[in-house]
Structures are given as structure tokens and as C-alpha cells.
Amino acid sequence: MSKLLEHLASDTPSLWIEVSPPRGINTESLIGRLATLRHKIDAINLTDNAMAKVKLSGLVFAIMIKQRLGIPVALNFSCRDRNLLALKSDLLGAAATGIDAVVALTGDKVQPGSHAEARSVHDVDVFGLLRIIGELKRGDTGEGKRPLKTLPALVAGVVANPNRPNFERELELLARKADGGAQFVITQPVFRIDLAERFLDRANALGLRVVLGILPVKRAEMANYLKEQVKDLSGASHHFDRYFGLSEAQARALSIKHSLELMEALAPRVAGFNIMSGGGPSLAIELAMEFDRQRSHRANH
């Protein structure tokens, strides 16, 4: 079993932070900020051109994190941006360089007629990508040639949205992903304990380790945007309303408090938490540091 899966199987919830690679080639600032989390988090979940916006190659940045920080990496792989050959090539690269896990996903939707949509690929969907990962793990490149050495290091994860109005449809898709070889699932952000527990019951029954998404809110404007623009979070409107009229400092403090309460309540049941950056890593890092402090305190007492 990989170290990443060992963490997810332990009695203490694993702590991840989700970040995006830099927009350009200057990596020192973000590497420096992530360095403060060494020995405090268990993995970095690295996005793949999130929101269809160009970033530094996730595979390149993942290698830099591994080499310079030694922090495990779960690297997102989007079907949107690569053709079949590029997917296989990058998956082989991830295995060869010791990337700890790959997260198979379709890729964020983009607006009709946009530059990004005109160049979307989608040679395969997420189920096809899981099939490819399974084939490469067995050493089969699909070219009918002598098999490669097997690649057991390719631990496969997927994503899911517990907030989806058609909850049963989301669970049907998740069951197909589990059947396709997924070993863990990272969720979209949750803000309600009852919703998280409902999802945990069903995902655990599928044999998946669940890493719950936690999204700290930086300011009132961010809360309003999530309420008004992100339809999948419509059920959390009451949560976002509490930030109305707060200063940024007040919003950050309230979000840290609420996020820690949510994580504390769910810690006995989850495999891990994935703290999402939401436009910048500062608040996510602050929340991760505080959760780790409390986690260490409990372990020592």
C-alpha cells in the first residue's frame, strides 16, 4: 500500500491542501509558502488548469514539490486538455517520478464559444481515463506490444459533488468510478454536517476512502459569489449569508471557526480533509496549520 493510502486508512484523518500551480514560471513564492506546511500536512492536491485557465504544468510542479519539499502529491488529470497519447504519456511520467496519486476528472466546464472550449479534447471521459490507468498499472499501453513493467504506483482517485440536487445520480456515477478502479474520492466543498454524513454513508459502502472538501471563505464578496454564481452550492445559502457585512478580518475568523467545527465533528468518520485555496493559499494554509496544531494536541493528550 502506498504511503498516501496508508494515511487515508489510519485512525487520524489525513490533512491535504489543494493548490493550483503558478500562472507563470516563477515558482519560488508558492514553493516557499508550501514549505511552511512540511511535516504538518499529509498531501498536496494539485489542480490541472482549473476553471480552464492556463497554469504551469501540474506534472512539472508536482515533481518540484516532491523533490524540494518531500510532500506527497495527488495530481489532477483532466480529460479536457489532453488527447489519448498525451494522457498516457503524462501518466507514465507521473509513475516514473514517484507522484503519489492521480485524480481522474473531466475538467471544469467552460462558457460556450470561449477560447478554451474551442480547444477542448475529451478523447475519453473520466471512466475511460480510469480504464487507461488500470491498463497502465498492468503494464498495458494499449498498443498491442510487449507489456511494460507493471505500475502499481498509479493510485487512482476521483471527485464527487455531495451538494448535487440529484444526489442519487451522483452516487450512481460514483459507483461506476469505484467499479472502474478508483480508490479514494475527493469531494466538492461541504458546509453541512448532515450532508457530509449522508455522502459518507454511501461512499464508504462503495469501499472508497473519502477526502472531504473544506473551503474557507476569505471575505463577504467571496461568500456572495459562491451563493449567487455556484449553483451546486445553493443548499448552503444560509451558511454564506452569515458573512454579509463582515470585514475581511471578521470573515476570515468566522470561516476558520466554522471550518474547524465542521472538521472536528466529521473527523471520526472521514479518511481525510482537502482544504481548498479558493483563489489563493493564505487562508487555506492558516486553516491547515490550526487543524494540525489541534490534531497534534489531541494525539499528545
DSSP calls for 16-81: EEEEPPPSSS--HHHHHHHHTTTTT-SEEEE-SSGGG---S-HHHHHHHHHHHH---EEEEEETTS
**Among all chains, which residue has been given the C-alpha cell 523533490?**
67
Residue 18 gets the label, from left (phi > 0), alpha (psi -120 to 50) or beta, of beta
Is residue 293 assigned to a domain? Answer: no
Q: What is the percent of the chain where pLDDT is above 90?
A: 64
Pairing of strands 101-105, 155-160: parallel
Asked if residue 175 belongs to a domain, the reply is yes
| Contact present, 22 and 30 (Cβ < 8 Å) | yes
Q: Supply the angle between the helices 28-35 and 58-69 in degrees, to the nearest 10.
A: 50
Centre a 10 Å sphere on the Cβ of residue 115 and count the other Cβ atoms it contains: 10
Is 30 part of a structural domain of the chain?
yes
**What pLDDT does 120 receive?**
73
138 is in which domain, residue-wise?
A: 3-214+267-278
Q: Give the span between the Cα atoms of 226 and 58, in whole angstroms.
A: 26
What CATH number has the domain bearing residue 158? 3.20.20.220
For the chain, the domain total comes to 1
- pLDDT tens column, 229-252: 887 787 777 889 999 999 999 999
Mean pLDDT, to the nearest integer, of 254-279? 93
Q: Does residue 168 fall inside a structural domain?
A: yes
Per-residue model confidence (pLDDT) at position 79: 84
